Structures are given as C-alpha cells and as structure tokens.
Amino acid sequence: MRPDQLNPLFVESDALDGVGPKLFKPLEKLGLARVKDIAYHLPERFVLRHAVDNLDQASVGEQIVVALTPVDQRASAGRGPYRVMAQDSLGNICALTYFGRASYTARKQLPLGEKRWIAGRLDQYGQMLQIVHPDHVEEESSRLAGKLVEPVYRLAEGLTQPRVAGLVAQALARAPELPEWIEPSLLERQKWPAWRDALMLAHKDEHAAARDRLAYDELLASSLALMLVKESNRTRRGQPLQGNGSLRAKLQLPFGLTGAQKRSIGEIEGDMAQGHPMLRLLQGDVGAGKTVVALESMLVAVEAGTQAAMLAPTEILARQHFETIRRLAAPTGVNVALFTGRDKGKARESILMGLVDGSIDIVIGTHAIFQEAVAYRNLGLVVIDEQHRFGVGQRLMLTQKGRVTPHCLAMTATPIPRTLTLAQYGEMDVSRLDEMPPGRQAIDTRVVSIDRIADVVSGIERHIAGGQQAYWVCPMVRENEGEDLAAAEARYASLKERFGDAVVLVHGQLKPELKDAAMERFASGQAKVLVATTVIEVGVDVPNATLMVIEQAERFGLAQLHQLRGRVGRGSEKSVCLLLRGAELSETAKQRLALMRETQDGFRIAEEDLELRGGGELLGTRQSGESAFNVATLDQIQRLLPLAHDDARLLIDRDGGLASPRGEAARLLLYLFERDWGVQLLRGG
C-alpha cells in the first residue's frame, strides 16, 4: 500500500479550494486529476518584468510594472477594442487595450483619476504606446512585488494563469517533508536542493538545479524499478524450454536468415533454456525480419510442449501478424489462432476451449488473449509487439497466465538510441536486428513541393496502370477550422473523384468492421490506393504497394517518417517514397527531410531524431503511445540517466536495497512516481 506520508499528494484535485466539477474537467484534460499532478505541473517558461518609474525608462516589447493613472476611456464601434488612456508620472500617455468581454472588467478596475499599478507587455500601435490586456492591475504596488518573475503554465480551455498559479500554491502547501533518497555525496556534488525545496523553487524562477533534481528523481525511480524487476526475475521460477528443432526444420522461408537474425534467435534460445523467465527486447528496423525471429522463438516453445501467445496493440496489426505467421508456419502443421475482442459466441468458445486443452499451439491477438476468462493449458512464451505501447506494469500483468511465469519477448520496430533503451527498457536484455534481409531494395526517397500535387496524382495514375498500389498518408482525419493540415477525408474525396472505387480510406476513428473491410480490399489488390492517417505506421504488409506519399511530411517526426516509409519496399519491385512538403519549412524540418533522403538506417535516424527534437517528444512516442517520463526532458534524460542508473545500482548492491534507511526513502520515491510495481515484486512490498 502507498505510504501514508504521500496520501496528501494523491487526493483528487477537487479537494483543493475552488475546484468544482466545472474546473475539474479542464484540469483532468491536462492530466492534473490529483494534487501531485498539479504540484509537478512545472512552468513552461517565466515572464521577467522590469519595474519602472515612468514609460521613458521602458522599451517597446519589454514586460514592465509601472504606475499609470487613467484619464480617458474610449469604446470603438462594432467589435473594436476598448481603450483606457492612462498617463505616467511624467505625463506620457499609454493605451490599456481590451477586447471582448474583458472591457467590462476594465471599467471596474480602472476608474478615471485613480492611480493603478499595471503589469504587462509594452507595445506600440502606430505612434501610440499600449499594453494589450494587462496581466495585472492593482491598487497597491506591494501586491505586484512578487510578480516581477511570474511562471507561465500550460493551460486548457477554462483555465487561466492566475487560477493555475493559485492551485499550484495550494498543492505545494500540501507537499510533505520527505527523507532523502539520493546518495549523499552525489547530492552534495550536484548542489541540488532537498525534494520539497526543489519543488517550490522550480515554480518560482528558472532554477536549473531544482529542475534537474526533480528530473533526476523521476529517472532514479524508473531506473530503480526496472532494476528491481530484473533482480526479481532472476529469482523467480521459470520453465526451461529447449526445442528439438523438428518444427523449425520444416519452415520454408523466402530468404535465408541474416547474421543478426541468427544471433538474436540464439540469444533467445539461450534465455528460454534457463530456469528463470526470459525478459528480452528485440529491436529491429523496419523490414529487418522481427516476425521471423518471433516465429522461430514461438516454435521453440511449441517444440518444448508449451503454447505461445503474441500480443499486438491494434486489431489491424494482430490480423496482419496472424496472416503472415499462419502462412509461414503452414509447413510445420502447428495450429495458429486469431483471438480479438470481436470474437463472440461459438467462435469465441472454440478458441477458449482450444487454449485450455492445448489444441491451439500459437494464439495471436489483442488484449483479449489475456482477459481473465482466458486460460491456457501451458503458456510458455509471450511475445509483445510494438513494445512502446505497453508499460512495464502491463508487461508484468501479461505474464501471469502460465503455470509458472512464461518467458517474455518484447519487440519494437522503432530503432531506439541506447540511452533511451536503458531508460524505457532497463529491465530487459536487448537484441538488435541491424542487418536487412537479402533481396530488399533501397527505397527511392524524394522531397516534393506541395505545389506539384497535380503531378503526384498523375504519377499515381501511371503507377496504378502499371499494376502497382500506393499509400497516401495525411497528418489528421478532418481539417480543423483555421488550420491548413491535410485531412485524410478530404484527400480521400479528391482521389476518389479521380480513381473511383480503387481508393479506400483507413483511420483510427473508423468502425473496426469498416477499417478491416478497407484493409482487406487493399491487401487483396482490389483497391489500388490506401488513404490513411498514421494508423498504418506499423503492421501493414502489402508487397505490391510500392509508392508511399506522405503529405505535409514536415509535420511528422523522423522516426514516424521512417516507419511510414517502411510500409513500401517489402517486395522485389523498386519502391518510391514522396515526401510532400509545405512552402514554409523550419531549419529543423529541412534537416529532417534531408536526412530521410540521405539514409534508410533506422538506428542512425533515431540518433539524429534525438538531436533534432531537443526537448521535444521522444521519437514520436507521444504520437504512438505515452512517453515514459513526465518531468524529465530529453536533455535531462541524456545527462542524468547514467547517474541515476549508477545510483540505483549502488542502492541495491551496496546500500542494502529497499530494506536500508536510504531504501525506505527510495520506497517513497517509487510510490511518488507510481513505479510501485517495482516495490510489489519484493516480498513484503
């Protein structure tokens, strides 16, 4: 159970003064459902204001605090602004400008002839100085003394900066004093404040040491929890599985195995033969042959007299894997079944019975394969595809279905830099597929201006006439008012006008049966063009599709572009990827698209993506799943993770683990960052 000391932080946000159902909704939308979430809602930036005696001491564009006396009020016709003309101590005139309903507030706050202290950005409109929507208007200068450095928080509709700042203050007041979990000499060397002090300081100004301390805490919690999983796994009873090769010998693969595939299969076989459960991550670039490695691994389990289960995050991907593995495994005679949440009635009962009596050797599906009602005769291996979509806690839950803990092979098609591999999968041993199978041709990647879209559509027409198929990927489903993002539905409509029923549409908001029907038409070759969002980023394998068009490619991260490009080039024919770019490109976008032209090495692209994104999203994980970290930025992960990893190792190996005094503090840390699945693995946790 969570320690009592932390309970004040884990109550819901509506326990704070002023938070009712109406305010709770936008807070929840921001992920601020609990007091702890609000305390860790760190400012995106700070406004630094300069207190001046008069406007002559200020510069246009500067954030200032100044005393002004309203001398006139001017309402514009129609929807024009409402202006309060005010003068400083020297007689300089400045317009305090308001739009919309804010003008009613201005009339009350700024009575004529009465001095007020104004905080805001000084701008110029024609020859007139103005402050648009002042941030603060106060009768006493003392009330603005604490506003010279002011945090700016990320907001949702229905929230304001003052409201969030007030809630943060309440949340911080509830933060308890906690014992120190960081190794003392490291804390001294880094000159980091104590936990509660760091939390307070991070909301007051650009306090780098406080920010680093809070990020380090999160990284230490993650490293320690992953390490505890690994340590616990070594002590748990597993099922040693050794295949005799009888089924694998019957496989008739289209290509010989690469050296990387053989090496990975050998590592997996070695792990499965041990008396404790395997925890291994298989990293493979797009098209590097992960599915074959997974199949060989599952056949080892079947040869050893057990069953194997393969989990995919989406039904599309589950069906794709099922068709591929059933086809490849056909010569072996093993019984491969597909099981998703859509299976009902007799079909569902038949699969459930087959899993219980052992007549189903390999089952492939979505989360349905691990529902409480699903039982296995003897589950020996769990394969989890697209690993980044499942957290460690989910992984542990998925491996509770065997008589003893089954072996676990996790796979990801996103090549991940080594630093982030350690951060997200530190409890796992890692195998890398860094060679491409023979026969794969390089994909011809070109960057094309959106102005040439008519030429691209004509090119698709020639492509279809030649018997080939094409993808067209857009960044969103529907256009939003005021945005110029390409929309899949609009693009589908325009292409359908040109090519008729040869075009199908797939996106995440479609009903499953419509999505499957469209995918089936495309996979079978009846449809020639598939218009989609990034729902096809993984798992779609149509060798006859040799053209990929990505509209507004500059909107996508490198890793995502690389994944999408990997949908083509899967057959023997030459493939092309067209990156349609907008007219305005940032420097980062230019570098990103240039790198896509230059290389198809996913691991190099992942490293470059890390550099180009800076503190942004981790390799597109926010586009395809949840990031592992809420506090630590990418820069902090790179700088501080090695320290956290070493500190966690010291705690376990030298300082007595969670049973020691520092370990007791570290136990609080694990619960604070909700890595308590690491605690639960320990006896008495």
Residue 121: name the closest of 194, 62, 57, 181 by CA: 62
Taking the C-alpha atoms of residue 664 and residue 144, their distance in angstroms, rounded to an integer, is 43
CA angle 138, 144, 40 (to 5 degrees): 120
pLDDT category, 389, cuts 50, 70, 90?
Answer: low
pLDDT, residue 11, reads 96
Per-residue pLDDT of 516-535, as tens digits, reads 888 889 988 999 999 988 77
DSSP secondary structure string, 569-638?
A: S-SSS--EEEEEE-S---HHHHHHHHHHHH---HHHHHHHHHHHHTTS-STTHHHHS--S-SS--HHHHH
Distance CA 248, CA 655 (A): 47
- Whether 620 shows a pLDDT value over 60: the answer reads no
The predicted structure's pLDDT at residue 606? 78
- pLDDT at residue 617 above 80? no
Give me 421's structure tokens: 């591999």
pLDDT band at residue 628 using 50, 70 and 90 as cut-offs? low
Those residues whose C-beta lies under 8 Å from the C-beta of residue 293, and which sit 6 or more positions away, are 261, 264, 265, 268, 282, 284, 433
Per the confidence metrics, is the pTM higher than 0.75? no
Phi-psi region of 527 (alpha: psi -120 to 50; beta: other; left: phi over 0): beta
CATH T-level fold of 46-152: OB fold (Dihydrolipoamide Acetyltransferase, E2P) (2.40.50)
Which of 571 and 201 is assigned the larger pLDDT? 201
Per-residue buried b or exposed e for 132-164, using 16+ beta carbons within 10 Å of the residue's own CB: bebbbbbeeeeebeebbebbebeeeeebeeebb
For the chain, the domains span 46-152, 248-433, 444-599
Single-letter code of the amino acid located at 606: A
pLDDT digits (tens, 9 = 90+) for 133-162: 999 999 998 888 778 999 999 998 889 898
Total residue count of the chain as it appears in this document: 685
For residues 630, 631, 633 and 634, what is the CA-based torsion angle, rounded to 10 degrees? Answer: -50
Which uninterrupted H or E stretch holds 470? strand 469-473
Is the pLDDT score of 481 beyond 60?
Answer: no
Closest by CA to 222, choosing from 680, 684, 679, 673, is: 673
**What average pLDDT is seen over the chain?**
87
Long-range contacts of 393-400 (CB under 8 A, 24+ apart): 393/677, 396/229, 396/677, 396/681, 397/370, 398/311, 398/370, 399/277
Contact between residue 274 and residue 240 where contact means Cβ atoms under 8 Å apart:
yes
CA 380 to each of CA 210, 273, 296, 390, 395: distance values in angstroms, whole numbers, following the listed order: 47, 11, 14, 20, 15
Angle subtended at Cα 394 by Cα 388 and Cα 396, rounded to the nearest 5 degrees: 115
Supply the pLDDT for residue 57.
Answer: 96
Which strands, in side-by-side order, build the sheet including 429-433?
Answer: 336-339, 362-365, 307-311, 379-384, 407-412, 279-284, 429-433
Mean pLDDT of 470-478: 84
pLDDT band at 683 (very low <50, low <70, confident <90, very high): very low
Report, as an integer, the average pLDDT of 624-642.
Answer: 76
Q: Mean pLDDT, to the nearest integer, of 665-683?
A: 80
* CA 142 and chain centroid, separation: 44
- How much is the pLDDT for 477? 65
Whether 444-599 and 248-433 are alike in CATH topology: the answer is yes
- How many beta carbons lie within 10 A of that of residue 79, not counting itself? 7
630 band by pLDDT with thresholds 50, 70 and 90: confident
What is the per-residue pLDDT for 415? 72
Assign domain 248-433 one CATH number from 3.20.20.220, 3.10.20.30, 3.40.1390.10, 3.40.50.300: 3.40.50.300
Nearest-angstrom CA–CA distance, 646 and 584: 45
pLDDT band at 185 (very low <50, low <70, confident <90, very high): very high
- Give me the pLDDT at residue 555, please: 85
In the chain, the percentage of residues whose pLDDT exceeds 70 is 91
pLDDT band (50, 70, 90) for residue 622: very low
Residue 341 burial class via C-beta count within 10 angstroms: exposed 0-12, middle 13-18, buried 19 and up: middle
Using a CB cutoff of 8 Å and minimum separation of 24, what contacts does 624-629 make?
A: 624/386, 624/388, 624/389, 624/534, 624/537, 624/560, 625/388, 625/389, 626/391, 628/222, 628/391, 628/423, 628/424, 629/215, 629/218, 629/219, 629/222, 629/423
Greater pLDDT, 434 or 392: 434
**pLDDT attached to residue 206:** 87
Least confident of 27-36, 169-178, 282-291: 282-291
Q: What is the 8-class DSSP label of residue 111?
A: -
Calculate the alpha carbon distances from 536 to 267, 288, 308, 342 in Å: 30, 18, 26, 20
The C-alpha atoms of residue 367 and residue 299 are separated, in whole angstroms, by: 22
pLDDT of amino acid 402: 60
DSSP designation for 273: T
Residue 310: C-alpha distances to residues 31, 288, 331, 381, 575 (Å)? 31, 18, 20, 8, 30
Alpha helices in 434-501 (DSSP H): 453-465, 488-499
Task: Supply the DSSP symbol for 76.
Answer: P
pLDDT at residue number 592: 87
Give the pLDDT score at 118: 96
| Residues contacting 116, CB < 8 A, separation 6+ | 67, 68, 69, 70, 86, 109, 110, 137, 138, 139
Using only the alpha carbons of the chain, give its radius of gyration. Answer: 30
Q: What's the rounded Cα separation, in Å, for the pair 599 and 557?
A: 15
For the cut 60, the answer to whether the pLDDT of residue 90 exceeds it is yes
Tens-place pLDDT, residues 316-339: 788 889 999 999 999 999 999 999
Residue 348 CB-density burial (10 A; 0-12 exposed, 13-18 middle, 19+ buried): middle
At residue 39, does pLDDT exceed 50?
Answer: yes
pLDDT tens track for 253-285:
888 899 999 999 999 999 999 999 998 999 887
Lowest-pLDDT choice from 298-312, 375-389, 398-412 = 398-412
Q: How far apart are CA 635 and CA 359, in angstroms?
A: 51
CB of 518 within 8 A of CB of 497?
A: no
Residue 204 in tokens: 């007051």
Q: Is it the case that residue 434 has pLDDT exceeding 70?
A: yes
Phi-psi region of 157 (alpha: psi -120 to 50; beta: other; left: phi over 0): beta
* CATH number for the domain whose boundaries are 444-599: 3.40.50.300
Residue 521: Cβ-neighbour burial (10 angstroms; 0-12, 13-18, 19+): middle
| Strand (E) or helix (H) holding 164 | helix 161-173
Amino acid at 676: D
